[in-house]
Amino acid sequence: MGIDAAHYHPWKTNPGGKLGGPLLGAWRGVAAVVRTTLLQLMRRKAYWAIYAVGISQFVVYWVVIYALTQLQLPSGTQRGMLNTFGFSIEAADPQDTGYLDFMEQQSYVVMIMLAFCGSLVVGSDFREGTLPFYLSRRLERRHYILGKLIALVGLIWLFTVLPALILFLEYGMFTTSTDYWRANWRVVPSILGYGTILGVVLALWLAAISAYLQKLAPIAVVWSSLFVLLGRLGFMLSRETGIREWVLLDPWKDLRLAGRLCFGQFRTAGDAQLSATAAWILICVSLVALLALIRRVRAVEVSA
């Protein structure tokens, strides 16, 4: 257990500089937080189990669309099967909601994955004293928060945006040219926009809840109450009272309406009317979550 025979060597670096200026140093710190967060997650078997469940729906979509592009079916049959998934064979069809529907249907598995992640990558930093480690380096509170949020957004995109974009690429195989992609190029920014809303909102809410609760069981209780219970209560209130605005109690509904804003597609005129309110609700709650998160991180600096 003695000192290694090697002597201490000072750090020799290129003339370009050691730790980088404030911006470069901050960027390296944020990137390190993102990398480490994702690495921590991907080293858990449970993550891959959830990922397998989550990606199964994508596989179903992939297989069906691939089969439909390869099999010689009557166009009516093809159209009908595609419509089942919300896709349309016509270019730039405003009824084409397949990508939107796919991203919405990933909501349950995203919810479970995030409940798990919250405890592992945010809660554990507070519980096991890792946060003071981060903050005692050349990292400000905002860089730590930004790194964690980017990691969570990336995670959400793995389940939603990335598969949706792959489906978009695959769907173009219906045409033998790039016509589909050129005609439907707006789908890409729509997917990215919806993915950004999903990612930022869910990441903020999760980080704030996990920072305070830290352990998996209470996070799961609160998280599932938010995304399952409120939805059911909102639906029942809306149906039984006739006041449609009650559906906005459901965060998933709010996210979906905001997502539909990105796609410019609404199921009903009522949805279109509620979308702006839904967006405001998401913004307000997310701001509260951000402030709560900043306050919690500051409290750790003081008490650690």
Partner 1 sequence: MEPLVDIRDVSFAYGAVRALTNVSLRLEPGTVGIVGNNGAGKSTLLRILLGLLHPTSGGGTVLGCDVRQSSSQLRGLVGYMPEAHAVVPLLKGVEFVALSGDLYGMPKRDARRRAHEVLNYVGLGELRYRRLDEYSTGNLQRLKLAAALVHDPKLLLLDEPTNGLDPAGRTAMLRTIEDLIAATGKSVILCTHLLADIERICKQVVVMHQGTVARAGTLDALRQHTASRYALRWQGPREPFVAALQAAQVSLDFPPEHAAVPSTEQHALAVVPTGWHTAQFFELAGRSEAVVVELRPEQEDLEQLFFRVTHGN
Partner 2 sequence: MRTARAFLTLWLLSFRRLFWSIGTPMLLLPIVACIMFLVRRNYGASDDPVQAFHAFSMFLLTVFASFLVPLCALAFGTAGLGGDREDRTLLFLFIRPLPRGLILLAKYFAALPLVLGFTVGSLWIFCKLAGAPGRAAFDAYLPATLYMSVAYTSLFHLFAALVRHSTVAALIYAVFMEVLLGNVPGIVKRVAVNYYGRSLMYDAGVEHGLNAPDAQWFDPYPPADARTALWAIAIGALVAAWLVFRTREYEEPT
State the residues that interact with partner 2 by CB under 8 A.
44, 46, 50, 53, 108, 111-112, 115-116, 213-218, 220-222, 224-225, 228-230, 232-233, 236-237, 240-241
Among partner 1, partner 2, none, the one that 269 touches (CB under a kind-dependent 5 to 8 A) is none
Measured from the CB atom, the residue of 2 and 74 that comes closer to partner 1 is 2
Return the closest-CA partner of residue 99 out of 162, 143, 40, 52: 162
Q: Among all chains, which residue has been given the structure tokens 């605005």?
A: 245
Three-state helix/strand/coil letters over 2-19: CCCCCCCCCCCCCCCCCC
- Judged by CB under 8 A, does residue 301 bind partner 1? yes
3-state secondary structure of 116: helix
Measured from the CB atom, the residue of 126 and 180 that comes closer to partner 2 is 126
Q: How far is the CB of 215 from partner 1 (least distance, A)?
A: 14
Distances (CA, A) of 212 to 77, 97, 112, 148, 220: 53, 37, 18, 15, 13
Among partner 1, partner 2, none, the one that 40 touches (CB under a kind-dependent 5 to 8 A) is partner 1
Among partner 2, partner 1, none, the one that 13 touches (CB under a kind-dependent 5 to 8 A) is partner 1
The rounded distance, in Å, linking the Cα atoms of 146 and 151 is: 9
Measured from the CB atom, the residue of 77 and 241 that comes closer to partner 2 is 241
Sole window of 31-39, 229-237, 250-258, 266-274 interacting with partner 1 (rule: CB under 8 A) = 31-39
Sole window of 36-44, 84-92, 201-209, 224-232 interacting with partner 1 (rule: CB under 8 A) = 36-44
Q: Please select the residue that binds partner 1; options are 32, 162, 192, 237, rule is CB under 8 A.
A: 32
In one letter, which amino acid is 268? T
Q: Please select the residue that binds partner 1; options are 134, 157, 252, 263, rule is CB under 8 A.
A: 134
- Judged by CB under 8 A, does residue 164 bind partner 1? no
Measured from the CB atom, the residue of 32 and 162 that comes closer to partner 1 is 32
Measured from the CB atom, the residue of 30 and 113 that comes closer to partner 2 is 113
Contacts 24+ apart (CB under 8 A), 292-299: 292/208, 292/211, 292/212, 293/145, 293/204, 293/207, 293/208, 293/211, 294/141, 294/145, 296/126, 296/208, 296/211, 296/212, 297/131, 297/135, 297/141, 297/144, 297/145, 297/211, 298/141
- Judged by CB under 8 A, does residue 45 bind partner 1? no
Q: Please select the residue that binds partner 1; options are 28, 93, 192, 266, rule is CB under 8 A.
A: 28
Q: How far is the CB of 204 from partner 1 (least distance, A)?
A: 22
Q: How far is the CB of 228 from partner 2 (least distance, A)?
A: 6
The rounded distance, in Å, linking the Cα atoms of 123 and 121 is: 6
In one letter, which amino acid is 304? A
Non-local (6+) Cβ contacts of 296 within 8 A are 126, 208, 211, 212
Q: How far is the CB of 48 from partner 1 (least distance, A)?
A: 14
Total length of the chain:
304
Interacting residues toward partner 1 by CB under 8 A:
1-4, 6-11, 13, 18-20, 22, 24-26, 28-29, 31-33, 35-36, 39-40, 43-44, 124, 128-130, 132-140, 301-304
